[in-house]
Each structure stands twice: as structure tokens, then as C-alpha cells.
Amino acid sequence: MRVIAIANQKGGCGKTTTAVNLSAALSSNGRKVLLIDFDPQAHATAGLNVQSKTSIYDCLSKLSTQKSDIRDIIVNVDSNFDIAPSHIMLSTLEQELAGEISRESRLQETLSSFTNEYDYCLIDCPPNLGILTVNAICAAQEVILPAEPSRFSVDGLSRLIDIIALIKERLSRQVSYRVLVTIFDSRLKFAFKILAEMRNKFSRNMFSTIIHVNVKLKESQSSGVSVLAYDKYSRGAKDYYSLAKEIIKQEKEAAPLQDKMRELVKKHLPRLTDVTLKVDLPGAKDVFVAGDFNGWRADATSAMANSNNGTWSVRMKLKPGQYRYRFVVDGKWISDPGNPTTEINPYGEYDSLLTIAPSA
């Protein structure tokens, strides 16, 4: 499941419009989509004409009087398209979470229970950088940053990108972001100028698709449906369809890359073989194994375990190859009494030899 947060601290830049219509466009391409309305203002919920007694608040809050499992609050919107509705009560979650230790990961924990049920999970964020937006970014692998071409939006984006970088560092995993130009008015010279600046600044982290100004996007919202259901030939529908195609294309790009990585790992990382060395030494107090595989160290890292009857053993994972080793029994070096294959060493003593054949 690709989890994509749609975030920007600025209001009115097209987050909700993108969340709703991209969900519809992905689902019309046969992808199963869950849209999480994570804004207490519940614009996506209202914009899809969804009325529900329970909301995402009831899954995340411990104080909810109707505590629910996420599966129980999901409402079906269209074929392949479900929504987890929001409610104004979600605004109180901020305060509730303030005193909790893993407050950033509440949504991520909730989502981890059904990674196989949807192809995409889109999260519509509120217009601020509070704990709800941070929860959404923590739950996501990708963030879409919708931005209207204006000077202020470019400045705001940089702050948001810094926060994504911080979260990425904290989670120590990939969270990628891409800027989506929205509400683009091609009649304005100024819009083209800002677009060029954005392309220059964000280059590869920008979608090729641009969402143009289109009144059908507003009209569809008041009618309680997506623009695809409202007027599929409109510019708005075409733009969001094209965005969905751009996102879907990445599925194909990611898959061969993963296969290639797997192949490379297989080729370059030799298989490790499980090896157990055993020696019968009843009465010994301390037994270590020292050899080529551990830099001939006889310390805590190479201590052998004693089972009650005086059989000492150690398990190791070794690459194919030949190894020399000896046991150190109560401070005295001996060769392995159970291994007839030995080789004389520079001290005139015998090292035991162990050969690990390359596995198939």
C-alpha cells in the first residue's frame, strides 16, 4: 500500500481538491483507494457528501466515547473508493496527544493493521504543521505538496520540506516529496514566471502534471461528488487523471528496480552458512573459539556455551571459504579434538581446518 500524505500549512492551495479528485482518478484506474480526511474541518468528508456518526477521531483517540476500529468507520464512496471521514472532534486530538510519548506515530500504528486491503491510502492534512500533519507524514512514504504559483507559497514549501527531512531522519527511512502546481491560471504571465522559478528550485521533486484553474472543480465539490463523476470531460478531470497516471507510472518504475536490487544483493552478498562447532570438555571452566573468522579473538564475543554434560558449542554464520581455528580452554590453546583436518602454524602447533563450500 502506497501511503501518500497531501500536506501544506497554507490553506486554500488545493489539498482537499487534490485528495478527493486524485483518489477518484486512481480508483477509476482500477486501484483500491482509501482517503483519510485528516482535517478537523472535514472538507473532504463534506465535499463527498459523506455523513457518518463515527470518524477517524474515534480510531485514534483514547478518550472517544465510541472508540472504533478503523475498518468500522470507513464509508464507501464509489467503486474502489472508500473514505475514513473526519469530525470537528479531531481538533481535540492535538491536545490529547501532547503528553504522549509516541504521539507522532498514532496514525501509522492504526494504518499498519491493513496494508494489504488498499493499493493507495491518501491523507488530506489540515492547513498547519501541528501534530496531525506530523502524524500523516510519519505514516506516509510519499508527500504531495500542492502549491499555487505565488511567492508566499514557495517560501512556505521550504519550511515544510525541512520538516519532512527532520521526520525522515527521525524515522530513518525514505519519505519522498513532490510539489504539485495547482490552481494554475494560464492567462497570467506572473503564473508562468513563478512556475519557472519553482521548476528551477524543486526540479526533479515536481510533478510534470499541472492542475489548472477550473470552475468544475468548485462545482463538483458543492455537488458532493468528484470532478470525474461530475464532468469527466472537464479540464479538472483531465488534469487529475493525468496526475493519477503519473503516480501509477511509478509503480512500474519501482518494481523492476526492486527486482534489480534483489538480484544485486543475491550476486554480491555471498550466502552465509550456519555452522555449529562442538567439543566435549567436561571439567573446563571457560572455552572460547578463536580463528580466521573472528580475528583470533578469545573474548566474550567468542565464548562457547556449556550444556550440563560438558559439551561446549558455538553457532556462527560463515561465508564460503577455508578457515583455521583453535579452542582456548581455561587459557590453554588446543586444536579441535574432533576434527582430524589440521595444518601446522608458525608456532609449530596445529590449527584445525574448516571448509565451507559455496552453497547452490
Ligand X SMILES: Nc1ncnc2c1ncn2[C@@H]1O[C@H](COP(=O)(O)OP(=O)(O)O)[C@@H](O)[C@H]1O
Contact between 127 and 90 under an 8 Å Cβ cutoff? The reply is no
Gap between the Cα atoms of 359 and 32, Å rounded: 42
Residue 211 binding partner per list Mg ion, ligand X, none, with a CB distance cut-off of 5 to 8 Å that depends on partner kind = ligand X
Q: Smallest gap, in angstroms, from Cβ of residue 44 to ligand X?
A: 8
**124/30 Cα distance (integer angstroms):** 21
Q: Are 1 and 116 in contact (CB under 8 A)?
A: yes
Q: Give the nearest distance from C-beta 15 to ligand X in angstroms.
A: 3
Looking at beta carbons only, is 47 or 149 nearer to Mg ion?
47
Q: Considering the complex, what minimum distance in angstroms separates the CB of residue 208 from ligand X?
A: 16
Using rule CB under 5 A, residue 86 touches Mg ion: no
User: Minimum distance from CB of 88 to Mg ion (Å)?
Assistant: 14
- Residue 291 interacts, among Mg ion, ligand X, none and using kind-specific CB cut-offs from 5 to 8 Å, with none
Cα gap 8→19, rounded to integer Å: 12
Residues lying near ligand X in the complex (CB under 6 A) are found at: 11-17, 43, 127, 182-183, 211, 213-214, 217-218, 221
**Chain residue whose CB lies nearest Mg ion:** 16
Alpha carbon distance 285, 350 (integer Å): 23
Gap between the Cα atoms of 303 and 297, Å rounded: 10
* Binding footprint of Mg ion, residue count (CB under 5 A): 3
For residues 111 and 211, which CB has a smaller minimum distance to ligand X in the complex?
A: 211
Question: Quick one: CA dihedral 223, 229, 231, 236, positive or negative?
Answer: positive
Q: Please, what is the minimum distance in Å from the beta carbon of residue 10 to ligand X?
A: 7
State how far the alpha carbon of 98 is from the alpha carbons of 94, 124, 148, 160, 334, in Å.
6, 21, 32, 21, 61
Of 133 and 335, CB closest to ligand X: 133
Q: Which residue's CB is nearer to Mg ion, number 15 or number 326?
A: 15
Q: Degrees (nearest 5) of the Cα angle 70, 72, 74? A: 75
Write out the three cell numbers for 175.
Answer: 519519505
Which residue, 191 or 329, has its beta carbon nearer to ligand X? 191
| Residue with smaller CB distance to ligand X, 43 or 324 | 43
Residues 6-45 vs Mg ion: string with x where CB under 5 A?
---------xx--------------------------x--
- Residues 197 and 141: their CA atoms lie apart, in Å, by 26
Cα 314 to chain centroid distance, Å, stands at 37
Nearer to ligand X, 17 or 352 (CB): 17
Name the minimum Å distance from CB 233 to Mg ion: 26
> Hey, how many other C-beta atoms are within 10 angstroms of the C-beta on 53?
10
Cell 501544506 found at: 8
Compute the least distance from the CB of residue 62 to ligand X, in Å. 28
The binder of 17, among ligand X, Mg ion, none, by C-beta within 5 to 8 A per type, is: ligand X
